[in-house]
Chains A and B, each alone.
Chain A
Amino acid sequence: MRIIILGALILTIASAFVLYSSNYETRQLEASVAEQERAIEKARSDISVLKAERAHLGRPDRIEPLARALGLGPASEQQLAATPDEAIARALGAAEPATKKKGN
């Protein structure tokens, strides 16, 4: 009988400890989940701001003057070729008169 009581006592203490620690752990986990959720929300918000900033910096009416200042211009229909061969042929064809001009 004494053994049973002793055993019960030990079990009581053990289960109380287990309960306490799991409760404590749960709270810690809850806190870390909340923290991570906040971090996610912050990251998502940062991403949306960065995306907006990137789009703002890449907006065409900002890029166009910059590109023009670099000496670039809108792509012309004359720069398009249906096949690579055609492009090479045209580049060669255009290069020849140019060199001739230089020779003159």
Chain B
Amino acid sequence: MVPDAANSGDDAAEGADGAPAPRPANGPLRTLIATLLMALAFLAVGTQLFRLALQGQGDISVSLNETVAQSYARPDIVDRNGRLLATDVEAYSLFADPARVIDRDEAVEKLAVVFPDMDANALRNDLSDRNRRFVWIRRGLPPRTAQTVHNLGLPGFDFRRELRRAYPGGKLAGHVLGYVNIDNKGVAGIERYVDEVVGVESVQGATLAERPPVRLSLDIGAQHAVEAELADAMSRYQAQGAAAVVMDVTTGEVMASASLPAVDPGKPNMDQSRLDKISGSTFELGSVFKTLTVAMALDQALVTPETIIDTRRELTSGRFTIKDLHPLRRPLSVTEIFLHSSNVGAAKLALLAGPQRFQDFLRHMQMFDTMKTEAGAMAAPQIPQRWGEIETITASYGHGIAMAPLQFAAAAGAIVNGGRKVTPTFVKKLADASVAEIPLISTATSDKMRVLMRRNVAEHAGTGKRAEVRGYQVGGKTGTAEMPGVGGYREKAVISSFLAAFPMDAPRYVVFVLIFEPKGTQETGGEVLASLNAAPTAGRIISRIGPLLGIMPTQAAAAGGTGMAFDAAAHAKYEAR
């Protein structure tokens, strides 16, 4: 019975299973199909899982729910020691959607309180144009102002985050840096170089640039010292302007380049009086140019420093008469011509070579090239159309020929550095970068010129004696050039300049100082001569930048030195803090 019962149970089950007749025949096939489909589905899911596991996160698109604006992310600009000169900071820009502005007059009124300098009528007109959906109100707002506007709760107004260029040094090196436009694109100076050569990133919103900073050759300390001394000179000599450049004579790196009145790169000012006087304008430089004339005569072996030239009489050429300011009425040696800055002597030296050779020499010294630096093209030199005798004579003492002071400083660098070509640059050179040595004049000529320039400062009779800085072996040449005006030269309006180099036994830097339209003061005895204003200014600049640039004074000076400039009074004051 037991097996039966078991059988019957089996039967019952089979009976229930096998109730429809055709099913047992089709059953396995259907199951198989279902199983296969299932397996396929699992395989698909499995593969997908496997693929996801292998691929990881994949690309994640982050959607920031912000309105953004197109602008440029710029690399920082730093000085040669890595101190910041220009950087990008995030700022807020206010815009309006006129279609969404509800009360136009209320909005204009409230905004006028926050921005007192705003043109209310222009804004009202902009806002009344309902077809426009986007109007810039004010760009580059500091966070606090943005918050104030936000708190006004005006409908239809909103902000975009943008990058703004900031110049933490204020006006420091403003002419060299140049400036950017409203979209943060470089327009002038180094900023333009950054766009054209280094590269900027076009960004949406306020994404900072990832490029390494642009390292300039400038030294902030030296730059400030030069600017401060020039400002002092401007007030001391009641001058209209002043400019100076300090350049490494080996590498051509410009350590400082200042032109006063200064410009603020944050607020570009196209005023004519604020043009860069170092590389953006040309001037007739006057007697400093005799450095080139004498170098030419020596280099072409026309004379030696001891050669005597007859300078007793005034020189006449056509309707012009060339005179010396303080004629000695005796024949002068070439050395004396340089030391006394004799116009007649310089003219005779140039005539000795003749117009063609003099011209060729100046061209050889890169005086006729239109130079270009990272800060842009320099103002092209102005040279006489035709070179006759009179042009040769005037050019020999720096008149009738005009050039940018930086271009002249480059030539002067070549004269003192042993005769090698100097190419001015505003970008720091790598320590291992080799400088191509292109000789322009012979080393012997350079040595003789260094002696002459040193004597001009060291000797009591020298015009540059007020530029002396103990221990720094300063050498140089003065120049007092009359400024051209309407129908000839203006009386008592001069550019007094001093071309200096130091230390003269192995020159490292050339310093070229120009003072524009100085007035005779009590300090200068009413005179406007370069020996009384530009030379002492150059001396003060050198005394200040020498230690900053790490120039060791010579032993001789140290022995005669007074020692502690940090005197007891100053010490006590310092200790008290």
**Is B444 engaged at the interface, CB distance under 8 Å to the other chain?**
no
Given the contacts A61-B228, A90-B558, A75 and B548 also touching, CB distance less than 8 Å: yes
- 1/0 contact trace for A77-95 toward B, CB 8 Å? 1111110001000110111
Using a Cβ–Cβ cut-off of 8 Å, how many residues does chain A contribute to the interface with B? 51
Say yes or no: B558 contacts A94, CB within 8 Å: no
Is B172's CB under 8 angstroms from A78's CB?
no
B340 → chain A closest CB, angstroms? 29
Give the chain A neighbours of B220 by CB distance below 8 A. 60
Q: Which residues of A contact B561 (CB under 8 A)?
A: 78, 90, 94
Query: For A12, what are the chain B residues with a Cβ–Cβ distance below 8 Å?
Result: 42
**Cβ of A2 to closest chain B Cβ, rounded Å:** 11
User: At the interface, yes or no: B15 with Cβ under 8 Å from chain A?
Assistant: no
Interface size on B, residues (CB 8 A): 61
Q: Are the CB atoms of A45 and B206 closer together than 8 Å?
A: yes
Contact A8-B558, Cβ < 8 Å, known A19-B49, A34-B62, A52-B84:
no
Q: Which of B208, B553, B564 lies in contact with A44, CB distance below 8 A?
A: B208
- Chain B, residue nearest A56 (CB): B168
Decide if B204 is an interface residue (CB 8 Å cutoff). no
Report B499 CB to chain A, min CB distance, Å: 20
Contact status B574-A70, CB under 8 Å: yes
Contact B88 A48 (CB under 8 A): yes
Q: From the candidates A19, A26, A77, A95, name the one contacting B471 in the complex (CB within 8 A).
A: A77
The interface residues of chain A lying within 8 Å CB-to-CB of B557 are: 77-78
CB pair A94 B169 closer than 8 Å: no
Q: Contact flags (1/0) for A8-48 with B, using CB distance below 8 Å?
A: 10011001001100100010011001100110010011001
Using known A-B contacts A37-B62, A70-B577, determine if residue A8 contacts B90 with beta carbons closer than 8 Å. no
B472 is an interface residue with CB less than 8 A from chain A: yes
**By the criterion CB–CB under 8 Å, are A94 and B563 in contact?**
yes
CB–CB A81/B558 < 8 A: yes
A96 to chain B, nearest CB (A): 10
Type the 1/0 row for B220-231, where 1 means its CB is closer than 8 Å to any CB of A.
Answer: 110111011000
Among residues of A, the one whose C-beta sits closest to the C-beta of B545 is A74
Q: Mark contacts of A45-61 with chain B using CB atoms, 8 A cut-off: 1 yes-contact digit, 0 otherwise.
A: 10011011111101111
Residue of A with least CB distance to B227 = A61
A104 touches B (CB below 8 Å): no
A73 at the interface (CB under 8 A from B): yes
Query: Which A residues are within 8 Å of any B CB, using their own CB?
Result: 1, 4, 8, 11-12, 15, 18-19, 22, 26, 29-30, 33-34, 37-38, 41, 44-45, 48-49, 51-56, 58-61, 64, 70-82, 86, 90-91, 93-95
- A sample of 13 cross-chain residue pairs with beta-carbon separation below 8 angstroms, ordered by A number, consists of A15-B45, A19-B49, A30-B57, A48-B88, A48-B89, A51-B87, A52-B89, A60-B221, A70-B577, A71-B573, A74-B225, A76-B547, A80-B553
